[in-house]
Structure 1
Amino acid sequence: MSDAVRVLVVDDEALVRHALRAFLADDDRITLVGEAADGSEAVDVCKQTQPDVVLMDIKMPDVSGVEATKRLLEWNPSCRIVALTTFTTEWRALEVLYAGACGYLVKNSTPEQIIDAVVAAHAGDRVVSPEVQERFVRTAIKSGDARTPTTPVLSERERQVIELISHGLSNAEIADELHYAESTVKADIRHINQLWGVENRLQIVLRATELGIITL
C-alpha cells in the first residue's frame, strides 16, 4: 500500500527482531523498511530508510534507546518513536517520553496491540501500555496525597535541577550542565524530596507541574 506506515525495528536481540518482522510484514497497514541491533546503528539505518515510526528497545549496549531517541529526533523531529521494552516502571517510561518518544509499550503486548500502536503513533496519538498507565495514575495519586498546604522555598539551583529533570537528564548530565559535582546534584534532589514529601524523580516532575514551576 502506498500509504502504509514505514516502520524501523530497533532491538539488540535477534529473536525479538525476527518475531516483530514476522507479524509486522503480515499487516498491509505496515511496510517494514529495516532493522537495527543497537542505538548507534539505528541512527544510520533511519537516515537510509526514512521510517515514519521506529519501534525502539530501551536497554541496548553502547547507545541506549533513550539516547538513540534523542539523536533520531534531532535529525528528524517528525519521526514517531514508540519504545518497546520489558520495563514497566513509570520512571523508565517518563525517561524515554521526555526524550521525545510518543509511545511506550511492554514486550508482552500482543501483535495486534503493537500494530495498532504503530498506526496510532503515525496518526499523531500518544500510546502507553495499560499497566504503565496504571502506574502513572497511582504515582500521581500518591503525589497528590502528599501535597503540603504551602509551597516550600526552593533555591535557584534546585529550580534548575527540577527543570533539567523534566527534560529527562540524568544526574551526571545535570551536573555537567550546571557545572556542579554530581554529589551536589544528588544532595539537591534529596532536599527537594524532603521538602515536598516525594520519593522519586517522577513525583518531583508531577509536583513541579502542579505548582506551576515547570510546564510540560
Structure 2
Amino acid sequence: MAGVVRVLVVDDEALVRHALRVFISDDDRVTLVGEATDGSEVVDACRTVKPDVVVMDIKMHEISGIEATRRVLQWNPRCRVLALTTFTTEWRALEILRAGACGYLVKNSTPEQIVDAIVAAHAGDRVVSPEVQERFVRSAIEAHDSPVPETPALSDRERRIIELIAQGLSNAEVAEALHYAEGTVKADIRHINHLWNVENRLQIVLRATEFGIISL
C-alpha cells in the first residue's frame, strides 16, 4: 500500500458515494479510507482516517463544501481538497478554489478523470474540468473587453464585500461577517455589477484585480 493515495469522500448523496467507492476500488493508485455525508462531519472523519485527498461536494445540507474545505485545511494544511460537483458556473469554482481547494471537477467526469484528478491533486497539481476552464477564460475575456470606468466609485462597505467575495464567502457569509442583512449585501453586489458593467461574482473579482483593489 506504500504510495497509495488515501481518499475521503464527502457527499450527501448515497448514490454518488457508492459510485466513487466503485471507481476508487478499481484503481490500485488510490484507496477509500472513509466517507462523510455532510461538511459538519468532515473534520472528525479526517482526524479518524487521515486522508491525503478529500473529494468534496459543494452543496450539502448543514455545512457547505466551501466551509468544510476551510475546516479541512485548518486541520491539516497539507491535505488536498478536490471539489466534485454538478455546478459548472465559474463563480462556484472560484469560491471553493479561493477557500483552498486544489481542483474542481463536475460529476459527469469519467471514472478515469476522477481518479486521475485525485492522484494529480495528491501530487500538488491543480485540476479543473475543461468546461469550467472554458468559462473562466470566457469570463476573463468579457471582463477585459467591458468598458472600465476611470475611477471605481465604491463605498468602504462595497470594497469590503468584494474582498470577502474574493475569499470565497457566500452572500450569507459576507452578511454575517459584516453584520448586515443578506438583502443589503445582495443590493450592494447588484450596484457593483451595474457600476462596473459586469454580470457575476467572478467578473467582479477580475475587475477588482484590474483596479488593484485586490490581488489573486
Could you say whether these structures have the same fold, taking a TM-score greater than 0.5 normalized by the shorter chain as the test?
yes
Sort the Cα spacing of 1:196 and 1:180 in 2 relative to 1 into closer, same or farther, 3 A.
Answer: same
Q: Aligned residue for 1:112?
A: 112
Q: Aligned residue for 1:35?
A: 35
Number of aligned positions between the proteins: 216
Give unmatched runs, 5+ long, in structure 1. none
Sort the Cα spacing of 1:147 and 1:120 in 2 relative to 1 into closer, same or farther, 3 A.
Answer: farther
CA RMSD of aligned residues (A): 1.5
2:141 aligned partner, one-letter code? I
C-alpha distance in 2 between matches for 1:81 and 1:117: 11
Deviation at 1:71, TM superposition (A): 1.4
C-alpha distance in 2 between matches for 1:175 and 1:21: 38
Sort the Cα spacing of 1:145 and 1:10 in 2 relative to 1 into closer, same or farther, 3 A.
Answer: same
2:186 counterpart of 1:186: yes
Q: What is the TM-score of this pair, normalised by structure 1?
A: 0.93
Q: What is the TM-score of this pair, normalised by structure 2?
A: 0.93
Deviation at 1:176, TM superposition (A): 2.5
Q: What percent identity do the matched residue pairs reach? A: 76
Q: Aligned residue for 2:22?
A: 22
Give unmatched runs, 5+ long, in structure 2. none
1:148-159 superposed matches below 5 A: 148=148, 150-159=150-159
C-alpha distance in 2 between matches for 1:184 and 1:63: 23
C-alpha distance in 1 between matches for 2:110 and 2:150: 46
Moved over 4 A (4+): none
2:49 counterpart of 1:49: yes
Deviation at 1:76, TM superposition (A): 1.4
SS in structure 1 at match of 2:9: strand
State the Cα deviation string for residues 105-148 of structure 1 (Å, max 9, x = none).
01111111111111111111111000111111111111111132
Deviation at 1:178, TM superposition (A): 2.2
1:82 aligned partner, one-letter code? L
C-alpha distance in 1 between matches for 2:72 and 2:170: 19
SS in structure 2 at match of 1:35: strand
Q: Aligned residue for 2:95?
A: 95
Q: Is the 8 A contact 2:149 2:196 kept in 1?
A: no
Deviation at 1:24, TM superposition (A): 0.9
SS in structure 2 at match of 1:113: helix
SS in structure 2 at match of 1:31: strand
